[in-house]
Amino acid sequence: SRACYVFCHQDELWRALVLSSIGGDFRFEKCWKDTLGRSVRGESYTPHNPLRVENMYSDLLFQPWLCTSLGIDEEWCKVENIE
């Protein structure tokens, strides 16, 4: 189904898989899925070409995207509160 495809391609899942199976010995590719594919298959790996899925809405998918897309307010960076 479209929902299964979208949720299975969530970047956070692939990042966790890369870090748990490869650890720190990898070179990041275009996305975490391609990073795992290149690490496992080497040069024979063909980069992932995602399908376009329309009309799929989810707060679970939107929230991580929003947090990585928003900038950090400069006022937050000016305060030093570590002693």
Residues 30-81 have pLDDT tens digits of: 889 999 999 988 889 888 888 888 888 888 778 887 888 888 888 777 777 7
pLDDT tier for residue 8 given thresholds of 50, 70 and 90? confident
* Gap between the Cα atoms of 29 and 35, Å rounded: 5
Furthest C-alpha separation in the chain? 52
8-state DSSP, 78: H
